[in-house]
Structure 1
């Protein structure tokens, strides 16, 4: 299963990833953080990456 990674330099803090995958992403200091990298099975991490307006999320 791919693991999500956030490029903090690109993240604009929109929060869409945390809305789609709250068990995987959390907003801290206006940036998205991966808090549950192994929980992509509980949501759609690909959708979170696709919704990111700055393309700051990639799946490795």
Structure 2
């Protein structure tokens, strides 16, 4: 079960209006950047992406899709 799906995500900056933090938790795992399916920050020294879950969970598997 994807406990991150549509939860509150933030990031330190936005590369464009099509690459916001919530793109990482919208359920779309397409890694093609040109289809606006990825979150992306601007080039910066310490980029940050954050996810806030509504409850406490024991995480047994974490899947990260990289473009």
Asked whether the two chains share a fold, i.e. TM above 0.5, the reply is: no
Q: Which has the higher contact order (CA 8 A, sep 6+)?
A: 1
Q: Bigger radius of gyration, 1 or 2?
A: 2
* TM-score, normalised relative to structure 1: 0.28
Between Structure 1 and Structure 2, which shows a larger proportion of helix residues?
Answer: 1
Pick the structure with more strand per residue: 1
